[in-house]
């Protein structure tokens, strides 16, 4: 029971969050409205964020290594985003009509991503995936979706089924990275599949990059079967000016956007060619799609500031810092006598307490050790995802990464001294 030492220290340091969670459970099921925002024994309640730092109810400061699951690519309260949102709010926050900001943000996305000619905005990545599926079903006259086992495209039932690793009435799955398996499903069942959805990097699955041969092969197989090919860039747009598809040289039929294009406000979008997007033409709509807060002017203003600030130089800077952090964490694990492997691409990575990297969905052999490290990291002022996901932001510096490595080393030594080692 030595591992209880880390949890006891967590409880000692975060009594304010414990009380807040107890109150939350009276009014919210399980005390939360977001599965990814919960961990045992209770989540922290934050009161403020600035740059790459968060402060909780007890006044403790954390280096934020998650950025709301990659969404805050410029950290918290980024001054240009705050200024843009404040200016927009001062002149009204929403109305039933157009706003100029949505045109400006759409133009920015079209200029960045070669496969996109027009954009349709929603309020989340989940809604964007739902909208893309609506397009595919209307375009093909089919109803099923093919996706990767453990892939994540939001909480629509069809995608939740595949994320859980199962097939369903409207869901078919294949192993990520296995082109032959995707080709087999499409060859045998393609006449019922409306679209193939793929992440160019499996995010929730553990930061697993797909190579150009696999992604392009799936695209070709989808087209051969008469299905649309949808690339989910909600997470990966941060990796390059043209998204991951630009790095791979792949041209999808539809692209999903979200997270960083909203500047910290709720957002999602579907981009594609004019032929597909004209299904929404309000003069002759073939798909009915509306939403009270679609293309909300505050979100659009914040999104413009966020996208404009993500330059190639800043992307490169994050990549360099991520390499430094990865090397430092691996060296720290050696010092602590712990097995550690890291899936990594660009400014995002996922930790695994094992000799070889794996996946973060389903059952993990290192689950207990990962949970222990998560609490130990919080005790030392580092905030990362319970599953080991890390996403850097443009406001980080080399000195901050040095501090992260120092704190992570202490956390790793804590877990090494409180239970069995993973070597």
* Catalytic residue positions, numbered: 152, 232, 259
For residue 165 the two structure tokens come to 């690793």
Q: What radius of gyration do the chain's Cα atoms show?
A: 22
- Rounded distance, CA 362 to CA 331, Å? 28
- Rounded distance, CA 177 to CA 80, Å? 39
Residue 67's region, left for phi above 0, alpha for psi from -120 to 50, else beta, is left
- Helix and strand tally (H, E) in the chain? 15, 16
- Rounded distance, CA 25 to CA 53, Å? 27
Any residues with CB less than 8 A from the CB of 190 and at least 6 apart, and which?
224, 225, 226, 227
- Rounded distance, CA 252 to CA 196, Å? 10
- Cα dihedral: 409, 413, 416, 418 (round 10): -130
- Picking from 85, 193, 188, 195, the residue whose alpha carbon sits closest to that of residue 133 is 195
Any residues with CB less than 8 A from the CB of 203 and at least 6 apart, and which?
70, 152, 234, 235, 236, 348, 389
Any residues with CB less than 8 A from the CB of 106 and at least 6 apart, and which?
118, 119, 121
- Picking from 267, 49, 9, the residue whose alpha carbon sits closest to that of residue 154 is 267
Burial class (CB in 10 A: 0-12, 13-18, 19+), 32: middle
Instruction: Quote the distance between the C-alpha of residue 125 and its chain's center.
Output: 9
For residue 95 the two structure tokens come to 């109305």
For residue 168 the two structure tokens come to 């369903």
Q: State whether residue 256 is helix, strand or coil.
A: strand
- Rounded distance, CA 194 to CA 222, Å? 9
Q: If you search the block for the tokens 């949890």, which residue do you land on?
A: 7
Q: Which residues pair with 119 in a beta bridge?
A: 271
């Amino acid at each position: 029971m030595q591992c209880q030492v880390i949890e006891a220290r967590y409880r000692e340091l975060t009594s304010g969050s414990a009380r807040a969670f107890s109150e939350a459970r009276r009014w919210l099921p399980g005390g939360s409205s977001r599965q990814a925002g919960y961990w045992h024994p209770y989540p922290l309640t934050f009161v403020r964020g600035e740059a790459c730092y968060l402060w909780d109810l007890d006044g403790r400061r954390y280096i934020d290594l998650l950025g709301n699951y990659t969404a805050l690519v410029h950290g918290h309260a980024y001054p240009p985003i705050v200024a843009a949102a404040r200016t927009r709010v001062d002149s009204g926050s929403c109305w039933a009509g157009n706003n100029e900001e949505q045109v400006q943000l759409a133009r920015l996305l079209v200029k960045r991503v070669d496969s996109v000619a027009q954009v349709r905005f929603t309020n989340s990545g989940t809604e964007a995936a739902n909208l893309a599926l609506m397009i595919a079903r209307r375009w093909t006259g089919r109803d099923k979706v093919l996706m990767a086992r453990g892939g994540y495209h939001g909480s629509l039932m069809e995608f939740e089924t595949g994320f859980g690793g199962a097939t369903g009435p409207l869901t078919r799955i294949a192993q990520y990275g296995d082109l032959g398996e995707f080709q087999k499903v499409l060859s045998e069942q393609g006449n019922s599949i409306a679209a193939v959805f793929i992440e160019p990097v499996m995010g929730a699955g553990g930061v697993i990059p797909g190579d150009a041969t696999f992604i392009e092969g799936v695209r070709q197989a989808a087209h051969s079967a008469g299905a649309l090919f949808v690339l989910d860039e909600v997470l990966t747009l941060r990796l390059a000016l043209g998204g991951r598809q630009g790095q791979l040289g792949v041209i999808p039929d539809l692209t999903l956007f979200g997270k960083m294009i909203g500047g910290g406000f709720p957002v999602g979008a579907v981009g594609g060619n004019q032929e597909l997007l004209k299904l929404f033409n309000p003069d002759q709509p073939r798909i009915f799609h509306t939403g009270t807060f679609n293309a909300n002017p505050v979100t659009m203003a914040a999104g413009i500031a966020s996208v404009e600030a993500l330059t190639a130089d800043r992307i490169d800077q994050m990549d360099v810092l991520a390499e430094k952090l990865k090397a430092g964490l691996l060296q720290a694990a050696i010092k602590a006598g712990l097995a550690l492997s890291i899936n990594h691409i660009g400014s995002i990575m996922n930790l695994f307490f094992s000799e070889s990297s794996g996946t973060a969905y389903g059952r993990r052999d290192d689950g207990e050790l990962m949970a222990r490290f998560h609490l130990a990291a919080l005790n030392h002022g580092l905030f990362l995802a319970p599953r080991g996901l890390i996403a850097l932001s443009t406001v980080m510096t080399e000195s901050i990464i040095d501090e992260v490595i120092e704190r992570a080393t202490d956390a790793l030594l804590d877990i090494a001294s409180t239970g069995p080692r993973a070597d």
